[in-house]
């Protein structure tokens, strides 16, 4: 069970024999539905289990190589008005510049692909010394095709790296890639 098209498509890519049903609700609700026999297993984010102190409930941890995260997953964002200098000044000390650069690349990648919760897209940027490594993919909803890309470059080029990676996948996938 999963509510994530991305996770479902990636699982179907590896295990086309598995049936995936829609599993919604908070983590406790999802785990209860497993215990009640509605599903054999949930696909859940490990970060959510850790946050709730339920990490021991994970039967297997899927690698980010096989199951890269959704764009922005794991980043915490706080929104402030551009003209609200006082609030922006209060937030500045807690801002993490490297995370911001990685997120800039991921968001540029997603923006080019016009992604949403209804499109199986993954994008994961990590810092490498003074550079950035972005891995991304698009998947058909049924998992029958997955197209990967990756980019490496300086942190200052984060947005351009993301855009370029997104353009590549958009070109390779074509206009109807996400249609089922």
The Cα–Cα gap between 55 and 47 comes to 8
CA distances 149 to 3, 21, 34, Å, are 25, 28, 35
Contact between 41 and 1 under an 8 Å Cβ cutoff? The reply is yes
What mean pLDDT comes out for the span 95-117? Answer: 91
The residue among 136 and 59 whose pLDDT is bigger is: 136
Most confident segment among 22-26, 29-33, 136-140: 136-140
Q: Would you say residue 25 has pLDDT above 70?
A: yes
| Residue 180 pLDDT | 65
pLDDT the model gives residue 81: 94
Q: Is 162 exposed, middle or buried (0-12, 13-18, 19+ CB in 10 A)?
A: buried
More confident residue, 122 or 115: 122
Question: What's the chain's average pLDDT?
Answer: 91
Whether residue 152 contacts residue 127, with contact meaning beta carbons closer than 8 Å, is answered with: no
Residue 135 has pLDDT above 80, yes or no: yes
Residue 115 in this model has a pLDDT that exceeds 90: no
Q: What's the pTM? A: 0.85
């Amino acid at each position: 069970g999963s509510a994530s098209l991305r996770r479902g498509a990636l699982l179907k890519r590896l295990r086309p024999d598995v049936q995936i049903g829609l599993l919604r609700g908070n983590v406790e609700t999802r785990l209860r539905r497993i215990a009640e026999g509605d599903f054999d297993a949930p696909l859940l984010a490990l970060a959510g289990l850790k946050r709730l102190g339920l990490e021991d409930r994970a039967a297997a941890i899927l690698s980010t190589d096989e199951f890269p995260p959704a764009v922005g997953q794991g980043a915490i964002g706080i929104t402030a008005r551009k003209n609200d200098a006082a609030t922006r000044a209060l937030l500045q000390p807690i801002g993490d510049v490297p995370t911001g650069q990685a997120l800039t690349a991921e968001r540029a990648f997603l923006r080019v692909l016009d992604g949403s919760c209804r499109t199986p897209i993954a994008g994961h940027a990590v810092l490498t010394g003074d550079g950035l490594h972005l891995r991304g993919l698009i998947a058909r909803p049924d998992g029958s095709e997955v197209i990967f890309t990756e980019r490496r470059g300086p942190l200052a080029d984060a947005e351009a790296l993301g855009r370029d990676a997104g353009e590549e996948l958009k070109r390779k996938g074509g206009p109807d890639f996400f249609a089922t």
